[in-house]
Amino acid sequence: MVGKQLIEKDLIRCIGDRRSTEVWGEPWISGIFPFSIERPNNIIAGDMRVCDLLDDMGSWRVDVLDFIFPSEVCRRIMSIRLVDVRREDRWNWLWDAKGEFTVKQCYTQAMKEKMAGDRSLSQYTRRGTLRVLEENMEAPDQLGMCVIALYLIWESRNAKRFSEVDWQSGQLWCKVAAIWDEFQDSKSWKMWNDAFEQHLRWTKLEVGWVKMNTNAGTLPEGGGVIRGLIRDSDGVCCAAFSKKMQATSNPLALEAEAAWRWH
């Protein structure tokens, strides 16, 4: 129950076939907080689902939207892309780039809010000792992530002291989790090679070829951000872009949009 209360304010419905999302009371309208709207007094109709707001061709019924919703809400609704008709509506957590939720993420959020109110510890100490003070540090993954966290804290301390670099301590655990996931992926790749007797390895790009990297993530207020980078065979950046997207909060659609930008 506590976990549900912690993440409830950051959940939004990701629209797919539109059959299971209620129009009134459920968070599904990106760009407005709390992403939901209550039924006006002049609307007599009871339960309505998002699919009731579309015509037979799958397009928004503009006349119905104008009658029911304020103009700003209408604009937000019509900016929602209706492309995932084969997928059911689902819940999307705004604090994860893919909209997914884990117990570890919930724990991190809970401890962040709890430690924020403790003024007896400095900002750096609170972030750095978040996992060290836990009693169940016997698990290998917890010990490994603790080592990574301590290393990043020390590196950030040196950067701030000698280079006057502004360190964003709130991003510490995100970096730790990302490094740990990369480490686990590399171990899985090695085990896959050993199991199938494959010897795949990374090789440098040939001259004339380029490598493309894209990334996308959702924003707490709705919408998302897409980014892209192209590097040549020497690793030199040839082109890059970053753009804020208001049209959708669907992580898969954002990632596809980021890749399509280079088309």
> Residue 96 has what pLDDT?
66
- Of 35, 69, 93, the position where a domain reaches its end is 93
pLDDT range class, residue 175, cuts 50, 70, 90: confident
180: left (phi over 0), alpha (psi -120 to 50) or beta: alpha
Residues 89 and 30 grouped into a single domain? yes
> Residue 154 has what pLDDT?
82
Residues 178 and 115 grouped into a single domain? yes
Residues 108 and 71 grouped into a single domain? no
CA distance 254 to 251: 5
Residue 19 located in a structural domain: yes
> Residue 164 has what pLDDT?
66
Measured from the Cβ of residue 16, the count of other Cβ atoms closer than 10 Å reads 19
Read off the tokens for 244: 């804020």
Kindly tell me if the per-residue pLDDT of 4 is higher than 50. yes
pLDDT range class, residue 197, cuts 50, 70, 90: low
Element (H, E) at 138: none
Residue 45 located in a structural domain: yes
Residue 202 located in a structural domain: no
Give the domain extent around 125: 103-195
> Residue 136 has what pLDDT?
47
CA distance 263 to 252: 17
Q: What is the mean pLDDT of residues 4-25?
A: 76
Q: Which residue has the higher pLDDT, 79 or 142?
A: 79
- Among the residue ranges 54-63, 131-140, 170-179, 216-225, the one predicted with the least confidence is 131-140
Q: What is the mean pLDDT of residues 34-63?
A: 80
Residue 201 located in a structural domain: no
Residues 79 and 108 grouped into a single domain? no
Kindly tell me if the per-residue pLDDT of 226 is higher than 80. yes
- Of 37, 69, 93, the position where a domain reaches its end is 93
Residues 220 and 191 grouped into a single domain? no
> Residue 103 has what pLDDT?
65
Q: What is the mean pLDDT of residues 2-27?
A: 75
pTM: predicted TM-score of the whole model, two decimal places = 0.39
Do 173 and 108 touch, CB atoms closer than 8 A?
yes
**Chain centre to alpha carbon of residue 137:** 27
Residue 148 located in a structural domain: yes
Residues 114 and 186 grouped into a single domain? yes
Residues 63 and 109 grouped into a single domain? no
Residues 89 and 107 grouped into a single domain? no
CA distance 259 to 263: 7
Residues 19 and 79 grouped into a single domain? yes
**Three-state DSSP class for 114?**
helix
Kindly tell me if the per-residue pLDDT of 133 is higher than 50. no
Read off the tokens for 234: 């020497």
Element (H, E) at 33: none
Q: Which residue has the higher pLDDT, 166 or 71?
A: 71
Q: Which residue do the tokens 């390895």 mark?
A: 201
CA distance 63 to 60: 9
Q: Where are the beta strands (DSSP E) in the chain?
A: 11-14, 90-93, 211-218, 224-231, 237-245
Kindly tell me if the per-residue pLDDT of 123 is higher than 60. no
pLDDT tens-digit readout, 210-221: 888 888 888 877
Residue 63 located in a structural domain: yes
* 13 beta partners: 91
> Residue 1 has what pLDDT?
46
Kindly tell me if the per-residue pLDDT of 85 is higher than 80. no
- Average pLDDT over all residues of the chain: 74
User: Which sign does the torsion angle of CA 110, 217, 30, 99 carry?
Assistant: negative
CA distance 216 to 255: 5
Q: What is the mean pLDDT of residues 11-31?
A: 81
Residues 158 and 234 grouped into a single domain? no
Per-position DSSP letters for 154-200, written without gaps between them: HHHHHHHHHH-PPP-GGGHHHHHHHHHHHHHHHHHHHHHHHHTT---
- Among the residue ranges 31-40, 96-105, 142-151, 208-217, the one predicted with the least confidence is 96-105
CA distance 246 to 60: 17
> Residue 246 has what pLDDT?
83
Q: How many domains is the chain partitioned into structurally?
A: 3
Residue 171 located in a structural domain: yes
Query: According to the per-residue pLDDT averaged within each range, which of 106-110, 188-192, 247-251 is highest?
Result: 247-251
Q: What is the mean pLDDT of residues 35-47?
A: 74
* 90 beta partners: 14
Q: For residue 263, how many C-alpha atoms fall within 13 Å in the half-sphere facing its CB? A: 6
Kindly tell me if the per-residue pLDDT of 45 is higher than 70. no
Do 23 and 48 touch, CB atoms closer than 8 A?
yes
Residues 87 and 109 grouped into a single domain? no
Residues 127 and 72 grouped into a single domain? no
Residue 22 located in a structural domain: yes
> Residue 121 has what pLDDT?
45
- Of 160, 195, 230, the position where a domain reaches its end is 195
